[in-house]
Amino acid sequence: MVQAIKRDEVFIEPEGIHLETHQPERRSRKPPLLLVHGALTGSWLWTEVAAFLAERGWEAHAVNLRGHFTSDVAELSDTTMRDYADDIGVAQRQIGRPAVIIGWGIGALAALMHAERHRVLGLVLLAPSPPAAALPRSPDEHELRAVPAVYDAAWWGWTGSRDVLRERMPDMDDDEIEKMTELLAGARESGPARRERMRGIPIDATRFVDVPSLVIGAGLDDVIHPTEARRTADLLGASYEYFPSASHFGLVMGARTWPEVAQSVLGWLEERRPAMVAASASISLVAARR
């Protein structure tokens, strides 16, 4: 049943992290969801998905990592993937309850880095930047040196005419492409964090044995090839789903694909909800005894 929802937001001090929330007007016992964007983007990426999940009883919190969208400006030339993982911890602290983390692109890898050190109720990784063991190859030094200290959407190749972008992202309509283009226009991203991802960030897969995990690949993804997403799923022992007609951005904001993806994520969440609620109660009980 679709419920009425309300939006809220909070600016978390002293870290300067902005958190945007979509939540059902009637609270439920379902665990909260923490949504983590990827390179050059922000909480705006999740607007439709967050509302969809909230309308179905799931409280969805979309974080803006440091230096992104409405969070505080950061020195991106010094920002690392560990910094982004720490930002997830800041958002989790603000939520105050164990959460299921849903990440896209580099946000999915940052979610893995956070979950390697902190207890989470589950992971949903959409087109995740692969950890070291899932990378297809090692970069050469020329490729690494070519990454600037701070880069923008033009350097990454996410700009161009509407026709060019529509060809790359056929699951997105003109309004969605225009929104993406406008919001990427002033965005900047960390070069050091990209070089880390290229070299490979090791993840201890044994830490995720008891963490319900879902990895989603997109058939038209020209950023994270679906074979890379599949390798990440195999590494984690996660469930894997594949959407052949989805592009990288289309997975989360393309009108032709995001509803199907969101419905699949919702089904996965609902199936595992009883176990997640029990795990949340156990975590809270342990914390109370400390």
pLDDT at 80 over 70: yes
pLDDT at 32: 97
d(CA 176, CA 44): 12
pLDDT at 1: 75
Confidence of residue 287 (pLDDT cuts 50, 70, 90): low
Residue 12 belongs to domain with CATH number: 3.40.50.1820
pLDDT digits (tens, 9 = 90+) for 197-212: 999 999 999 999 999 9
pLDDT digits (tens, 9 = 90+) for 101-112: 999 999 999 999
* 3-class secondary structure, 124: strand
Give Dmax over CA atoms of the chain in angstroms. Answer: 59
pLDDT at 29: 86
Residue 107 in tokens: 């946000």
pLDDT at 286: 64
Residue 125, domain extent: 5-289
pLDDT at 221: 97
Average pLDDT over residues 2-23: 95
pLDDT digits (tens, 9 = 90+) for 200-255: 999 999 999 999 999 999 999 999 999 999 999 999 999 999 999 999 999 999 99
* 3-class secondary structure, 45: helix
Q: What is the DSSP string of 127-169?
A: SPPPPGGG-S-PPPHHHHHTS-SEEEHHHHT--S-HHHHHHH-
d(CA 58, CA 255): 21
Average pLDDT over residues 188-194: 98
pLDDT at 285: 57
pLDDT at 284 over 90: no
What is the number of residues in the chain? Answer: 290
pLDDT at 283: 79
Provide the mean pLDDT of the chain: 95
pLDDT digits (tens, 9 = 90+) for 120-131: 999 999 999 999
- Structurally, how many domains does the chain consist of? 1
pLDDT at 252: 97
pLDDT at 290 over 60: no
pLDDT at 160 over 90: no
